[in-house]
Structure 1
Amino acid sequence: MKLTYRGITYDYNPPRVVYGSTYAQGKYRGLPVTFQTTEVPIVKPSYNLKYRGIAYCTGVPTQAKEPDKIGNVPSKDIKIPVVSLSERSRTLMAGHRQSIRQREQAMLNRLAEEVG
């Protein structure tokens, strides 16, 4: 499909989605809605980008399966710790309080400089 954005044309080929069985049905704002599974998971493309000198990657990063410089081979059995909802909310609240305190301290320092 050919698309145009700000005078630049480009080709866009959306991924084909193959739907599987229906696992739920319901209504949303009075209209029937059907939820289906997908046969093949949709993989988002990953891009290596840079913003203000900081490199980052979008999507799922695709790395080579080669050993790194230390000699370790990437393992598929990586254990990711599961954090409970209460622990995560506690961490978010603590970070929020800390940012508020830093902002207040900066305001007080500016006020002290203006007053002399």
Structure 2
Amino acid sequence: MKLTYRGVSYEYNPSVTETVEAKVAGKYRGLDWRFHNLKKPPVLQPPANLTYRGVTYTNRPVVTTKPESTDVSVKTQARWLMLNKTKAVRNRAASMLNRTAHEVGLV
């Protein structure tokens, strides 16, 4: 397929993915649907170390898994949310007071 982007023509050949219909199917709002599974897994690009404007990066992102030992209780999460909310309110109040002081001419 011949495509053009900003005056540059190029050939685009989308990859063909072979699928197999799964046994899971149903009806949603009057239309039939069915899951499709891949016949074989897709081939991934080989990892490459790239540089853009002096910053190095890779085309294969690093997957970070969270260790299970860092599970936080609901009580601790609620406490953090409350502290962050309080901190945001204080920062907003300080910002408004500072802005008012500049407008009045105290600073």
TM, length-normalised to structure 1? 0.49
Distance 2:5 2:80 in 1: 43
1:17 positional shift? 0.7
Aligned residue for 2:14, secondary structure, equals coil
TM-score normalised by the chain length of structure 2: 0.52
- Of all paired residues, the percent bearing the same amino acid is 24
Is 1:109 the counterpart of 2:94? The answer is yes
- Whether 2:8 is the aligned partner of 1:4: answer no
Task: Please state how far the C-alpha of 1:114 moved relative to its aligned partner.
Answer: 2.7
Tell me how far apart the structure 1 counterparts of residues 83 and 23 of structure 2 sit (CA, whole Å).
42
Instruction: State which drifts further: 13-22 or 100-109.
Output: 100-109
Query: CA-to-partner distance for each residue in 1:41-77, whole Å, 9 max, x for gaps?
Result: 23565785759x765545xx18xxxxxxxxxxxxxxx
* Residue type at the aligned position of 1:115: T
Q: Which runs of 5+ in 2 are unaligned?
A: 102-107
- In structure 1, the residue matched to 2:18 is 18
Maintained 8 Å contact 2:21/2:34: no
Distance 1:57 1:29 in 2: 43
Note closer, same or farther for the CA distance 1:19–1:56 as it changes in structure 2 (3 Å cut): same
Q: Using the alignment, how far apart are the partners of 2:92 and 2:29 within structure 1?
A: 47
What is the distance in 2 between the residues matched to 1:103 and 1:40? 50
Consecutive unaligned residues in structure 1, runs of 5 or more:
63-79
**Pair 43,82 (structure 1): closer, same or farther in 2 beyond 3 Å:** farther
Call closer, same or farther: CA 1:7–1:35 in 2, change over 3 Å: same
Higher normalized helix content (fraction of residues): 2
Measured on the aligned residues, the alpha-carbon RMSD in Å equals 4.2
